[in-house]
Structure 1
Amino acid sequence: MSATIEEQARAALDGVRLTPASAIRCQPIRWLWPGWLARGKLHVLAGAPGTGKTTAALALAATITRGGRWPDGTVAPPGRVLVWSGEDDPADTLVPRLRAAGADLGRVLIVGDTLTEEEPRPFDPARDIQALEWQLDHYDDVALLIADPVVSAVSGDSHKNTEVRRALQPLVNLGQRLDCAVLGISHFSKGSAGRDPIERVTGSIAFGALARVVLVTAKGEDGDRLLARAKSNIGPDGGGFRYTLEQIAIGGGMEASRVSWGEALEGTARELLGAAEQQDDEHVEQHDAVDWLKEVLSAGPMPVKDVKKQADEAGFAWRTVQRAMRRAGVDSRRGGFGQPATWRLCSRASKSTVAPFAPHPESGATGATGATDATVTDIAAMRERILARFGSADDDR
């Protein structure tokens, strides 16, 4: 039985639009930062706590507001930046950091409370995107939107792919209508070190899958940090930049942190994160080993074999303990001919010395950790003892 004219008309209204590919005009990706930030696209910036994610994001924002240079030296097109943060206070954290980064504060819009008929309430990205879009009708030069944290845009279960995709779509649509890059900040899941960086983003895998570009941060030894490109569906992936965080005065007796960009890095994000996090782990472990050594040797000298035994029981690798001995101010000595090597704490004022004897794998100072010259006094004293006991070569003649 054929459909009536009314049924055909209703089907046309309720149907799906089909467009021939030949009717679609190709257009290039509109980059804010070539290869890193694109207009109309969702990006995710994720990392472990303490890596400076928000500070790095604000550094990128500051670059846009003043038309400055990106870490690779290319020039950013000037524009406005929209910042929403559910974690940091604008007055004592966000604006001071923007000032420290040299941002044109007149081009930064901070998302505040949502006005209602009853009373203002905190902005909720999961339900107030439409109201935000109406307010942005007055601006036509928004280039970047920062959502921190992006998980706040999900009102449902952030670990369910379907709910995450549905919740993030309004944010994606807003970026497309404003023709701005959307940068959502997130965290790494605990205990995820070593895994694929995309899988480490907190919540559903949909956060990393829906984003066209995923950027990640890590912290290495001595405070060095890095920004790496873990994924890009619209350009090359891999590579990164080293950076450090520094505190500077911004006036009025206040200080704020800012990013100082360093050298470009090569390699995949997984390789770069793995190297940085391993260095950080080793640094922390060695610091713990220093404290442990000081405590163990506080009662007095101890044979190296006993130190090694206690290190094994405490869970420290012997190589780590040997590296920590210098920082702990530990002296390595032998008690005499045939006597076992001992470790002891020495005062900061005294020079750490090692008695002259052949390198030994347990000695640390002259074995695995590198040779250390004996002091002239030690050598002279040893020579006198030998001559007193056996006589000189002239006596034998």
Structure 2
Amino acid sequence: MANGAIERGASFLDDVAAKRIADAMDAQAQPSEVGLICATDLKPEAISWLWGGWLAAGKMHVLGGAPGTGKTTISMGLAATVTTGGRWPDGTRATAGNVLIWSGEDDPADTLIPRLALSGADLSRAYFIADIREGNERRSFDPARDMEALRRKVADIGGVRLLIVDPVVSAIAGDSHKNAEVRRGLQPLVDLASSMRCALLGITHFSKGTGGRDPVERLTGSLAFGALARVVMVAAKHQTEGEDGRTVRLFCRAKSNIGPDDGGFEYDLHQAELDAHPGVFASSVLWGDAVEGAARELLATADATGDDSEGGTLADAKRFLADLLADGPIPAKAIRADADGAGYSWATIRRAKEALHIEPVKQGMKGGWVWRMPWQESAKVLKNSEDAQQKEVSTFEESEHLQTLSDGVEVEI
């Protein structure tokens, strides 16, 4: 009896296994079926923007630039704005949310967290992707293997509005110069951002020797980085200083498939010590005026270095400036116009300014910048360079000028 029951049971299991195998074979034999969605079944939706025209929910973005332009500092500034619901560079208000950061280059404790703190971030809303634990072992996060685990964590956190990957090439397990491998490596991150409705921002560098080319083509690695991104932003700094003596930096929009693809903002990098942590120093981004124009032209201006062979010798430029400023300070814009007319490059004029120790001075809250010789602290500002060329006139002439007495008091004669 017992043996018969065992035999019947074994036979039943064999039948079940055989049936499963047969069903699997039948399923494989069936042709694949493509799913189609009729356009009338879908409702048109507007792009959901974190920052209008710049950062979109569920989309991939790339921020590129040369070393030293502060790309990571900019990304931490953007992250800080999200965590606090602060103001974007154009003055619009962000919706507060959480930020997730995956960094393969900078240590969170000594670099990223100080930058977030200096930028005024709500650190309770900032999270970093750490190692993966498997039993008693740890290994680095791998988007190809660990995306589902990350998805569960993101869902647990809730409210993640921005995902930063720095550098974005960290997501590529294969050759970052091959389109297929780049797309395969980035797709899990793109899918995660889409499903979680958060903006994905990847940080990357410019390739060497690409000055003057389209900014999207300057991104290091495969063109797939720029192709997959819906918005590409770039950061650059001028090779020469601004009229106030500071380095001019530009943050521009180089490409957008979902909005405007030009314009940008000036910015500067600020170094300071954290008040709550003496001895810990960090950098933050300070946003400036909006700028107009295409990124390619804006970057071409920033990349221009100029040299004496393009606009006269340094000695000639020094004599030109000394003669121009001999009778008093002149607005920097007027000097630039005269220099262009005389055939001097602005880079050469800037070097001549440094050699002569000429000082840029701001004229009041609404006034522009003027240049003056070191000994002209109390001299009257001339409206243009033509005033500097006028000679002294007698007291009988109709056109009179202000002259400065030795005690620095201006009188009219």
User: In percent, how many aligned pairs have the same letter?
Assistant: 55
Change in CA separation of 1:34 and 1:15 when aligned onto 2, cut-off 3 Å: same
**Distance of 1:23 and 1:84 partners within structure 2:** 37
Q: CA deviation at 1:188?
A: 0.5
1:65 aligns with 2:83: yes
Q: Check whether the contact 1:125–1:152 (CA below 8 A) recurs between aligned residues.
A: no
Distance, in Å, in 1 between the alignment partners of 2:164 and 2:145 is 17
Counterpart pick for 1:78 among 96, 100, 107: 96
3-state SS of 1:241 partner: strand
Give the 3 Å change call, closer, same or farther, for CA 323–140 of structure 1 in structure 2.
closer
CA deviations 1:260-292 (Å, max 9, x no partner) are 0000010001111111121xx249999xx98xx
CA distance in 2, matches of 1:53, 1:214: 13
Q: Are the counterparts in 1 of residues 143 and 188 from structure 2 also a CA contact under 8 Å?
A: no
Residue 327 and residue 74 in structure 1: after superposition, are their counterparts in 2 closer, same or farther (change >3 A)?
A: closer
Give the drift of 1:93: 0.4
Residue of structure 2 aligned with 1:276, choices 272, 289, 302: 302
* CA 1:11–1:199: 2 relative to 1, 3 Å: farther
Distance 1:12 1:80, change over 3 A: farther
2:253 to 201, 214, 229: 229
Give structure 1 stretches of 5+ with no counterpart.
1-5, 291-316, 331-349, 352-370, 374-397
Amino acid at match of 2:259: G
Indicate if the aligned counterparts of 2:90 and 2:290 stay in contact, CA closer than 8 A: yes
Contact 2:308 2:348 in 1 (8 A): no
Q: Is 2:273 aligned against 1:249? A: yes
Match of 1:96 among 114, 135, 142: 114
Q: Which of 143, 160, 171 matches 2:189?
A: 171
1:119 matched to 2:146: no
1:201 corresponding residue in structure 2: 219
Aligned to 1:133: 151
* Equivalent residue, structure 2, for 1:151: 169
> 1:167: how far off?
1.2
Instruction: Give the Cα separation in 1 of the matches to 2:36 and 2:29.
Output: 14
Given that 1:124 and 1:152 are in contact with CA atoms closer than 8 Å, whether structure 2 keeps it comes out as no
- Counterpart of 1:358? none
Structure 1 partner of 2:33: 15
Q: Distance in 2 between matches of 1:322 and 1:230?
A: 30
Provide the rounded CA distance (Å) in 2 between the counterparts of 1:134 and 1:205: 31
Q: Distance in 2 between matches of 1:44 and 1:125?
A: 18
Instruction: State the aligned residue count.
Output: 309
Q: Rate the CA distance shift 1:136–1:181 in 2: closer, same or farther, 3 A.
A: same
Match of 1:109 among 99, 122, 127: 127
State the partner residue of 1:238. 262
Give the TM-score normalised by the residue count of structure 1.
Answer: 0.70
Deviates more, 1:107-116 or 1:256-265: 107-116
The aligned counterpart of 1:29 is: 47
Distance in 2 separating the partners of 1:228 and 1:65:
23
Deviations 1:203-237 (A, max 9, x none): 00010001111011101133221111111111111
- TM-superposed deviation, 1:19: 1.1
Q: Secondary structure at the match of 1:168?
A: helix
Q: Residue 259 of structure 1 aligns to a residue in which SS? A: strand
User: Partners of 1:34 and 1:104 in 2: how far apart?
Assistant: 22
- Note the C-alpha offset of 1:125: 3.5
- Partner residue, 1:261: 287
Q: How far apart are the structure 2 equivalents of 1:61 and 1:134?
A: 22
Secondary structure at the residue paired with 1:35? coil
Q: Distance in 2 between matches of 1:327 and 1:216?
A: 30
Within the candidate set 59, 67, 70, 1:52 is matched to 70
- CA offset at residue 123 of structure 1? 2.4
Q: Find 2:233's aligned residue among 215, 220, 225.
A: 215
By how many angstroms is 1:156 displaced? 0.9
Q: Could you tell which deviates more after superposition, 213-222 or 144-153?
A: 213-222
The code of the aligned residue for 1:161 comes to N
Contact 1:45–1:214 under 8 Å retained in 2:
yes
- In structure 2, C-alpha distance between the alignment counterparts of 1:19 and 1:236, rounded to whole Å: 29
8 Å CA contact 2:131, 2:141 repeated in 1: yes
How far apart are the structure 2 equivalents of 1:243 and 1:108? 23
CA shift for structure 1 position 52: 0.6
CA contact (8 A) 2:254 2:261 kept: yes
Between stretches 160-169 and 99-108, larger displacement belongs to: 160-169
1:38 to 52, 56, 70: 56
**Inter-CA distance 18–7: structure 2 relative to 1 (3 Å threshold):** farther
Q: Quick one: distance in 1 between partners of 2:237 and 2:36?
A: 48
